Amino acid sequence: MLMELSQKNILITGGNSGIGLSLVKQLSALGNSLIVVSRSQKNWSDFSRYRPAVVTMQCDISKEHDVLSLMEKLKSANIALDILINSAAVQYTCRLTDEDFSFTDIGTEVNTNFTSIVRLCSLLLDGLLSRPHSAIVNLSSGLAFYPKTSSAVYCATKAALHSFSQSLRYQLADTSVQVTEVILPLVSTPMTEGRVGGKMSPDAAAKAIIDGMKKECNEIYVGKAGFLPVMMRLSPGFVKWMLKKY
């Protein structure tokens, strides 16, 4: 059964840049109503052309107080969500051996990439369960399976998100909520600025995600990440060796 991906109320975190921004543009073009949640107001003026289909709400999802305030705003606006897309993420490249290693940065990374997602899923779940055809979509990474050297904590949060997405899918198996995990390759976003290599465009990544959502896929392997299942079976050691350099 295919999901009719139009006339839906969709909340997306981190929707003001990168893949999130591309998702907002493409999903609004399909006739959906979008709530864009971001900790900054960057690019918000760009959304004026999409109003009233796109509404912006400022919220630092790494902070519990901000998230609870967001819930009150949604309740006051009487918005019934059909889809939650957890797109926001931060990545730091500090190593534990660095002199300027910061627990504050690590806390922000863990809270943004993992804890906030669990919190949002929990707080919004009752509403999603009340809808006839709803979904939770978590944007993860191939680094959840094969971590790289330079971003140990980021990779660990994506591994945690992968495990959480699986368990949540089991818990909601007999409900109206589809739980989808998106495994992304290297995509050209503000997070990956300065890195070399064959980056996928955010528009192409967003299109692949939407196509997978329509098919109600449990896991969507985007672009080069599609080779991961095969590589994990045939040559897992090679992938480990390759990412150890980064």
Tell me which residues are annotated as active site.
Answer: 154
Q: Position of tokens 């959502």?
A: 213
Give the number of other Cβ atoms within 10 Å of residue 217's Cβ.
16
Query: Given strand 83-86, what is the order of strands in its sheet?
Result: 54-58, 33-38, 9-13, 83-86, 134-141, 177-184, 219-221
Nearest CA to 10 among 135, 120, 152?
135
116 contact partners, CB below 8 Å, separation of at least 6: 13, 61, 62, 67, 86, 88
Cα 96 from Cα 100, distance rounded (Å) = 9
**Tokens 């899923």 appear where?**
121
Beta carbons of 95 and 43 less than 8 angstroms apart = no
Q: What is the helix (H) or strand (E) element at residue 12, kind and residue range?
A: strand 9-13
